[in-house]
A and B are shown apart, each in its own frame.
Chain A
Amino acid sequence: MPLLEARDLDAFYGDFQALFGISFEVDEQEIVALIGANGAGKTTFLRALLNHAVRTTGAVRFDRQDVAKLPTEAIARLGVAMTPEGRGLFPSLTVEENLLIGEQTRRPGRWKLKDVYELFPALKETRWRSAGQISGGQQQMVAIGRALLANPRLLLCDEISLGLAPKVINDIYQVLPEIRQNGIAVILVEQDVMRARAASDRFYCFLEGRVALQGKSAEFGIDAISRAYFGAES
């Protein structure tokens, strides 16, 4: 029984349909990459799982429970956390206050404020600063730390490497194994196919709102994935 399972999921913005019959699975402690070009529907899919800012039809089961009709905050309290597109930090709050917002899910678990500071020591030094005044890499760390403090069972990461220097990206990707070891499954939205393939157990490639290719990351070469990515005739 997978941790999360979506069946025939459609998603709409107004009259515009963004996703078409997506079927998707994540097992416990699995890292699944979601790759695809701009506008393929990756972010929309993450939103659809959380019923957030998009209208959906179809089935979503999380931890054997039907969540498709639940409000976003209820799904969050069941253990799905997200680092949203653009990080979604609260600029009026300090770094530490931003992190503490994660605890609003009131889920018991391993992650406490000090664990996040151990995972990202850089944040401890800037904890009193406004979230708008720290570097982009630190902001992404806050977004991840905030999601971890929600003590989720599934973490949705939306383009955590966007706009960051390669070294900073490496730092952030280094924490993924540790997150997984703590019993958290991850869906990783990524535009960098190489990096996504290396960091994940399995992958799904979206094209124009549909699953174009899926499989174990180790079994597919860059060529096959790239063809699905661009939608080229094979």
Chain B
Amino acid sequence: MTEALGILVNGLLLGSLYGLFGLGLAFAFGVMRVVNVAHGEFIVLAAYMGLTIAHFLPIGPAPLVLLVAAIAFVLGYALQASLLNRLMSADPLPVLLVTYGLSIILRNLMVEVFGADPRSLDVGALKVAGVDLFGIRMGVLPLILAATSVALFVLLEVGLRTTRFGRVLRATADDAATVRLFGVNHRRVFSVAMGIAVALSAVAGSLLSMRTGFTPFAGVDRLLISFEVVIVGGIGSFWGTLVGGLLLGVAQLIGLRIAPQSGLLFAHLVFFAVLMFLPSGIAGWRKRGAPPAANRVAAKSVGVEEPRRLDGRSLLATGVAVLVALASAPALLDAGDLRLMIEALSVLTMAQMWNLLAGYAGRMSMGHQAFVGLGAYATFLFSNTSGFSPYWSLLVAPIVCAIAAAALAPFLFRLRDAYFAIGMWVFAEALAIVVGLVPQLGRQYGLNLERLHDVDPTLITPILYGLAAGLALASTAGVYLLLKSRVGLALVAVRENERTAAATGIDVWRYQAIAFVISAAGVGLAGAIFFTSEFHVVPQSTFDPGWTAEMLFICLIGGVGTIEGPVIGAIVYFAAREALQNSGNWYLIAMGVVAVCVMCVAPQGIWGLVARAARFEFFSTRRTPSRAEARLEEAQQLNGGNGGLNRLPAANEGRGL
């Protein structure tokens, strides 16, 4: 009984810190509708800053935390003022991509600077000091941390309610365009808001570092827990955020008591349970009301001039050339290079599939590694237990992934934009933890491919290469054909303006779910092919967020929302990776820097630049006038495109009487 009470109390104390994690995220989202994916890295960075300052300056914990918060405020302000303000629009994708790139940069910079060993902030005797309250042993430090956290919630709430700047912040959150009419520079307000958000996270981060150890890789867990806190509490409710934090803190400690290796698994499970049964969170349970749907009119310029295309004969010639090049690779390359080709082609498939979901269906995922791992494990398990050869077992991967995606879609699709992206990430993390706990899946040690004695060992790599190449071609062609179909038209309509599309009778969820299932199946098969060529799976490499980082980065440099983009991006990415392969983490940092720069300078990617300069498209998914005529009926049924003012013919303008 006392033990149960002890877990509850300590869970609440831990949860108050989680609430503070969520508060930074919720505040930034509340004011700017922006989700900072680098949130977790800022939390960890704050801990390292505290460590560094404490090393050089002999100051007590309280001034230390204040100093870290001040530095974090400046960082957050600078981030918003220099980078994010220029990317803010109705389309949430640019900010997501840039902060994702930033998180990769920060994480790997911290590895380079501070090393990967766990560290913690030394607070001397305070760490072990305890008091007995009501018969329960409680640490003094956790009590102080919880009190600080609750005090910050109160301070923020009171500040927002009673100060002049708080009033301006709330007004800007309501309507950033209208505050400008009264002399308010909304960008400055945004910058201050981001400063506050990062400072709050920094306080939470440095406080947590006094309690538990951290590494540069802790940012992912920090981001996911912050995000779960916000969703569980209910988006837009600060007090809900605190309650969400408390709930998740208790859930985690109970979980660790049941299964010591489970990490954040129970927090993840609570998150999914809330998503299923209370989709608008705890705060939304009492006052029901759907959050306003973001109306995302993509600010993409529409070229008036029709781009050129290849005629049938040149297209055929290009296709034959690509096929001949791919087919002659096994004869020309050694085994090592051929394995690299398997990886490159598998990743190209994954990027193409990620792009289908993010670039066309408008649903960005940050957890596509879930399907890489799921596909690989499904194939290994099936082959090892059934006795089928690994080649035939590959077919299991897309089926399992498609089923998983179909089962996931109904409640993960309740989340929008950034929240969907991170929700996928939570799914991937939860899956990785579960796989690491199950004995039949080899726990942390993974599985070996056992049915190798039936197959000719010299043929494995060439055959898998052929499969990878075939899948890459098929996925590229498949996405093209899909986009030419009715489904593609509907997807693009939904991406451009979800509300209008829904109003014209398009079942938004159905089409997005179709894209999601296809995307999952494709990624699963590609992951299975790649890991079959490795003969071995472990949770850490199969469920590595780096897979999604690769997909995202390839699409970004090539051009999100084009079919050519992932192809170009994959070539550039693998060339760069091979050139920089001895540089350790620096290639990841360089990748993040390039991602951020591309998003700021040329958000349409390399292919976008080429296509615009040359007015040329390989795979045109536009509907030409003649074809549009033939599909008039279909267009009328699905007519939900970007019905902006600039698209209306002049005759419709003018006299409105």
Which residues of A pack against B, CB within 8 Å?
Answer: 13-16, 37-40, 50, 52-53, 71-74, 76-77, 81-82, 84, 88, 90-93, 97-98, 100-107, 146, 150, 208, 230-231
A150 CA to B180 CA, complexed, in Å: 12
Q: Given A14-B646, A93-B170, is A37 in contact with B180 using a C-beta cutoff of 8 Å?
A: no
**Interfacial chain A residues near B653, Cβ < 8 Å:** 16, 39, 208
Complexed CA–CA distance, A74 and B648 (Å)? 33
* Closest chain B residue to A91, Cβ basis: B174
Chain A residue numbers with a CB within 8 Å of B164 are: 100
Given A88-B178, A93-B174, A37 and B645 touching (CB < 8 A)?
no
B174 & A90 in contact (Cβ 8 Å cutoff): yes
Shortest CB distance B208–A (Å): 31
Of B122-130, B182-190, B409-417, the stretch lying at the interface with chain A is B182-190
Q: Are B654 and A39 in contact (CB under 8 A)?
A: yes
The minimal Cβ–Cβ distance linking A97 to chain B, given in whole angstroms, is 5
Among A53, A71, A101, A231, the residue within 8 A (CB) of B182 is A101
Contact of B171 with A by CB under 8 A: yes
Q: Which residues of B contact A146 (CB under 8 A)?
A: 182
- Inter-chain CA distance A76–B180, complex, in Å, is 8
Q: Are B646 and A104 in contact (CB under 8 A)?
A: no
Question: Contact partner of B183 among A13, A37, A77, A231, CB < 8 A?
Answer: A77
Please state if A53 and B167 are interface contacts (CB–CB under 8 Å): no
**Residues of B with C-beta under 8 A to A39:** 653-656
Bound CA span A194–B308, Å: 56
Bound together, the chains give a CA A90 to CA B175 distance in angstroms of 7
- Pick the residue among B177, B178, B646, B657 that contacts A230 (CB under 8 A): B657
Interfacial chain A residues near B183, Cβ < 8 Å: 73-74, 76-77, 104-107, 150
Complex: chain A residue closest to B182, CB-CB: A104
Cα distance A77–B181 in the bound complex, in angstroms:
9
In the bound complex, do residue A93 and residue B657 qualify as a contact, i.e. CB atoms below 8 Å apart?
A: no
Top 9 A-B pairs ranked by shortest CB distance? A38-B656, A105-B183, A14-B646, A39-B656, A90-B174, A72-B180, A88-B178, A77-B183, A90-B171
Q: Is the CB of A76 within 8 A of B654?
A: no
With A13-B646, A90-B171, A92-B170 as given contacts, are A84 and B656 in contact (CB-CB < 8 Å)? no
Are A101 and B177 within 8 A (Cβ)?
no
List residues of B (164-209) whose CB comes within 8 Å of A's CBs: 164, 167-168, 170-171, 173-175, 177-186
Q: Which of A15, A37, A73, A100 has the most CB of B within 10 A?
A: A73
User: Which residues in chain B, 604-657, are within 8 Å of chain A measured between CB atoms?
Assistant: 644-646, 648, 653-657
Known contacts A88-B175, A90-B174; is-contact A73 B646 (Cβ 8 Å): no
A106 surroundings in chain B (CB, below 8 A): 183
Complex CA–CA separation, A90 to B180 (angstroms)? 13
Known: A14-B646, A73-B180. 17 other contacts (CB 8 A): A14-B645, A16-B653, A37-B655, A39-B656, A52-B181, A53-B177, A72-B180, A73-B182, A73-B186, A77-B183, A90-B171, A101-B168, A104-B179, A107-B183, A150-B183, A230-B655, A230-B657
User: Within the complex, what minimum Cβ distance (angstroms) separates A53 from chain B?
Assistant: 6
Contacts of B184 in A (CB 8 A): 73, 101, 104
Shortest CB-to-CB span from B10 to chain A, Å, is 36
Q: How far is the CB of A203 from chain B (nearest CB, A)?
A: 19
**Which residues of chain B have C-beta atoms less than 8 A from A82's C-beta?**
181
In B460-487, the 8 Å CB interface with A consists of: none
User: Which of B168, B181, B644, B645 contacts A84 (CB under 8 A)?
Assistant: B181
For chain B, residues 265 to 323, give those with C-beta under 8 angstroms from any C-beta of chain A.
none
Q: Residues of A contacting B175 with CB < 8 Å?
A: 88, 90
Binding site for A on B (CB under 8 A): 164, 167-168, 170-171, 173-175, 177-186, 644-646, 648, 653-657
Nearest chain B CB to A47 CB, angstrom units: 10
- Residues from chain A with Cβ under 8 Å of B180 in the complex: 52, 71-73, 76
Q: Which A residues are in CB contact (< 8 Å) with B170?
A: 90, 92-93, 97
Q: Tell me the complex Cα distance, A40–B653, Å.
A: 9
Q: Report the separation of the CA atoms of residues A72 and B186 in the bound assembly, to the nearest whole angstrom.
A: 10
Q: Are B181 and A88 in contact (CB under 8 A)?
A: yes
Query: Can you list 12 residue pairs at the A/B interface with Cβ under 8 Å?
Result: A14-B645, A14-B646, A16-B648, A37-B656, A52-B177, A52-B180, A73-B185, A76-B181, A84-B181, A91-B174, A92-B173, A101-B167
Indicate whether A72 sits within 8 Å of B181 (C-beta atoms), given known contacts A16-B646, A37-B656, A39-B656.
Answer: yes
Q: How far is the CA of A231 from the CA of B657 in the complex (A)?
A: 11
Closest B residue, CB atoms, query A87:
B178
A131 and chain B: residue at smallest CB distance: B174
Instruction: Give every chain B residue within 8 A of A97 (Cβ-Cβ).
Output: 167, 170-171
- Are B181 and A13 in contact, with the CB atoms below 8 A? no
When distances are taken between beta carbons in the complex, the residues of chain B under 8 Å from A72 are 180-181
Which among B164, B170, B174, B175 has the highest number of chain A CB atoms within 10 Å? B174
A107: B residues at CB distance < 8 A = 183
Contact B182 A15 (CB under 8 A): no
Least distance between B85 CB and chain A CB atoms (Å): 13
Q: Which of A50, A72, A76 has the largest number of chain B CB atoms within 10 A?
A: A72
A101 & B646 in contact (Cβ 8 Å cutoff): no
Distance between Cα atoms of A73 and B644 in the complex (Å) = 27
Instruction: For the complex, give the distance between the alpha carbons of A37 and B164 in Å.
Output: 40
Residue in chain B with minimal CB distance to A78: B183
Closest to B167 in A: A97
Q: How many angstroms between the C-alpha atoms of A14 and B304 in the bound complex?
A: 13
Beyond A208-B654, A231-B655, whether A16 also contacts B182 by CB under 8 A is no
* CB nearest neighbor in B for A15: B646
Assembly CA distance A13 to B170 (angstroms) = 28
Nearest-neighbour CB distance to chain A for B568, whole angstroms, equals: 29
Taking the closest CB of chain A, its distance from the CB of B90, in whole angstroms, is 13
Q: Which of B178, B185, B644, B657 contacts A38 (CB 8 A)?
A: B657
Report how far A29 CA is from B164 CA in the complex, Å: 31
In Å, the complex CA distance between A118 and B170 comes to 27
Contact between chains at A105 and B182 (CB < 8 Å): yes
> Cβ of B655 and Cβ of A100 under 8 Å apart?
no
**Complex formed: what's the CA distance from A14 to B645 in Å?**
8
Provide the residues of chain A in CB contact with B186, threshold 8 Å.
Answer: 73
List B contacts of A15 (CB < 8 A). Answer: 646
A14 close to B644 (CB less than 8 A): yes
Task: Please name the residue on chain A nearest to B161 by beta carbon.
Answer: A97
Contacts of B177 in A (CB 8 A): 52-53
Chain B hits for A91, CB < 8 A:
174
A-side contacts of B174, CB under 8 Å: 90-93
Query: In the complex, what residue of chain A is closest to B654 when comparing beta carbons?
Result: A208
A93 and B168 alpha carbons, distance in the complex (Å) = 10
Q: Shortest Cβ distance from A126 into chain B, in angstroms?
A: 18
CA distance A112 to B177 in the complex (A): 24
Closest to A106 in B: B183
Residues A50 and B181 in contact in the complex (CB < 8 Å), given A13-B646, A37-B655, A208-B654: yes
Question: In the assembled complex, how far is the CB of residue B496 from the closest CB belonging to chain A, in whole angstroms?
Answer: 14
**Cα–Cα distance between A233 and B343 once the two chains are bound (Å):** 72
Whole-angstrom distance between the alpha carbons of A13 and B645 in the complex?
8
Distance A93 CA – B178 CA, assembled complex (angstroms): 14
Whole-angstrom CA separation of A82 from B167 in the bound complex:
20
Min CB gap B441→A, angstroms: 49
Q: Tell whether A102 pairs with B182 under 8 Å between CB atoms, given A38-B657, A53-B177.
A: yes
User: For residue B166, which residue of chain A has the nearest CB?
Assistant: A97
With both beta carbons as reference points, the residue of chain B lying nearest to A96 in the complex is identified as B167
Q: Inside 8 A of B171's CB, which chain A residues have their CB?
A: 90, 92-93, 97-98, 101
CA distance A86 to B348 in the complex (A): 49
Most A CB contacts (10 A, CB to CB) among B170, B181, B184 go to: B181
> Which A residues touch B648, using CB under 8 A?
16
Nearest A residue (CB) for B178: A88
Chain A residues lying within 8 Å of B646, measured Cβ to Cβ, are: 13-16
Q: Which of B167, B180, B183, B648 has the most CB of A within 10 A?
A: B183
Chain B contacts of A77 at CB under 8 A?
A: 183
Given the contacts A14-B646, A93-B174, A100 and B167 also touching, CB distance less than 8 Å: yes
